[in-house]
Amino acid sequence: MRDQHEAVGHSVRAMYLYSAMADLAREQDDESLLAACRGLWEHLTTRRMYVTGGIGSSAVNEGFTRDFDLPDETAYAETCAAIGLMMWAQRMLRIDRHRRYGDVMELALYNGVLAGLSDDGTCFFYDNPLASRGGIERSAWFDVACCPPNLARLLTSLGSYAFATGDAELVVHVPLSGTVRVPVGDAVAVVAVDADVHGSGRVALRVVDAPDGELTLRVRVPAWSATTTLHLDGRPLDLDDGDLLREDGYATVTRRWQDGEELVLQLDTAPRRLRPDPRLVDHAGRVAIARGPMVHALEEADNGAMLHMLSLPADADLSARDADGTHVVTARGRRADVAGDGLYRSGPVTSEDAELVFVPYSSWANRGAGEMRVWTREG
């Protein structure tokens, strides 16, 4: 294990192995094992992870192939592998709290994991491609039924991934709305979290029942937020202060709290473009759209068929809006004109205006088995 430097083999088994390695490193204070985990994390997330947090590019071995080999239509990206990535990230955060792990855990949750479940919770994806020419639907069950119960286990234990507590300390790794009880000596503090990272970007931590003594609140400031502000009961705090926003990427406030006081993190959820590493052959000249932690995709239900004929100009504005409870991103794009003589032509391909609608990747295939595409041609 200590000599492994690349993420290889079956993606789910690899995540379970790396999770065990992290547990052992923590329990036995094993620096060499921890160094191996850190190296494997760096290799996986910079060379073999999809933009959705999915991992495992091949159905042949249900796992990894080679660096920068991340095809879209044939992506395996098993739901259980994304769950395993969250498990590993959770364990790394216990040892080495840094937003690099929280960012990936959040990415995997909202994209690689939730895409595996239909909106009504009755059907599932085993594998999660990033492009489809149509005909793909979730299944009610599988002969090898690891993904449905694994999803159920994760979702019912999500609080242990989102939050961590110590004596007089609450750490918010993934902002989720709910109430957290924090041990403070022999007493308990109660903190209510109200999070909207998909829409307004507001994350509020309200101390409902303040402890008798100091309480530390730590909340991850995600790398995807271009501009972030922090307020304590309406008073702005300076995130440029190294004591407030630590090198680990967590905003930290320690004080004696009063009942009802509130710490508010305001994140930037403006839609943004994600451009691929030039070594990703399948994505050359393409762009992905994200808002907050959620990667978005074009779907036939909104944009018509032949999605590969659509393009997004580099200077096109991206707008966010709510559509029947779903946050979508829209832009003025172009659709290639099929008019012309013959299969090949010497003249330029013409195009016409088209409104592009990008929906959260996790919600695709809930309106029929139409086409889908995460990466869109830019230009």
Contacts of 94 (CB under 8 A, 6+ apart): 22, 26, 164
Give the mean model confidence (pLDDT) for residues 245-265: 96
In a domain, 146, yes or no: yes
Say if residue 186 is in the same domain as residue 229.
yes
Contacts of 214 (CB under 8 A, 6+ apart): 168, 254, 255, 256
Indicate which CATH number applies to the domain containing 190: 2.60.40
Say if residue 35 is in the same domain as residue 110.
yes
Give residue 116's pLDDT band: very low, low, confident or very high (50, 70, 90): very high
Mean pLDDT of all residues belonging to the chain:
96
Say if residue 46 is in the same domain as residue 77.
yes
Question: pLDDT tens digits, residue range 148-189?
Answer: 999 999 999 999 999 999 999 999 999 999 999 999 999 999
Give the mean model confidence (pLDDT) for residues 337-351: 83
Rounded to a whole number of angstroms, the distance between the first and last alpha carbons of the chain is: 45
pLDDT greater than 80 at residue 341: no
Question: pLDDT tens digits, residue range 219-229?
Answer: 999 999 999 99
Say if residue 337 is in the same domain as residue 354.
yes
Question: Is 37 annotated as catalytic?
Answer: no
Domain end, chosen from 156, 191, 223, is at: 156
Contacts of 162 (CB under 8 A, 6+ apart): 172, 173, 174, 175, 176, 178
Q: Give the pLDDT score at 143.
A: 87
Say if residue 182 is in the same domain as residue 261.
yes
Say if residue 146 is in the same domain as residue 213.
no
Q: Give the pLDDT score at 144.
A: 85
In a domain, 256, yes or no: yes
In a domain, 6, yes or no: no
Which residue among 6, 123, 146, 262 is the active-site one?
Answer: 146
Give residue 2's pLDDT band: very low, low, confident or very high (50, 70, 90): confident
Q: Give the pLDDT score at 85.
A: 98
In a domain, 316, yes or no: yes
pLDDT greater than 80 at residue 340: no
Say if residue 281 is in the same domain as residue 302.
yes
In a domain, 322, yes or no: yes
Domain end, chosen from 122, 156, 190, is at: 156
Domain end, chosen from 156, 187, 218, is at: 156
Which residue among 27, 31, 42, 62 is the active-site one?
Answer: 62
Q: Domain range holding 124?
A: 11-156
Place of tokens 């960012």: 103
In a domain, 287, yes or no: yes
Say if residue 42 is in the same domain as residue 79.
yes
Categorise residue 366: left if φ over 0, alpha if ψ from -120 to 50, beta otherwise.
Answer: alpha
Question: pLDDT tens digits, residue range 17-31?
Answer: 999 999 999 999 999
Indicate which CATH number applies to the domain containing 20: 1.50.10.20
Cα(377)–Cα(349) distance, rounded to whole angstroms?
A: 14
Say if residue 97 is in the same domain as residue 119.
yes
Backbone angles phi, psi at 50, to 5 degrees: -70, 160
Lowest-pLDDT choice from 113-127, 248-262, 319-333? 319-333
Give the mean model confidence (pLDDT) for residues 317-338: 92
Q: What is the pTM of this model?
A: 0.96
In a domain, 5, yes or no: no
Say if residue 262 is in the same domain as residue 196.
yes
Say if residue 262 is in the same domain as residue 286.
no
Say if residue 105 is in the same domain as residue 15.
yes
Question: Is 106 annotated as catalytic?
Answer: no
Instruction: Look at the chain and report how many structural domains it folds into.
Output: 3
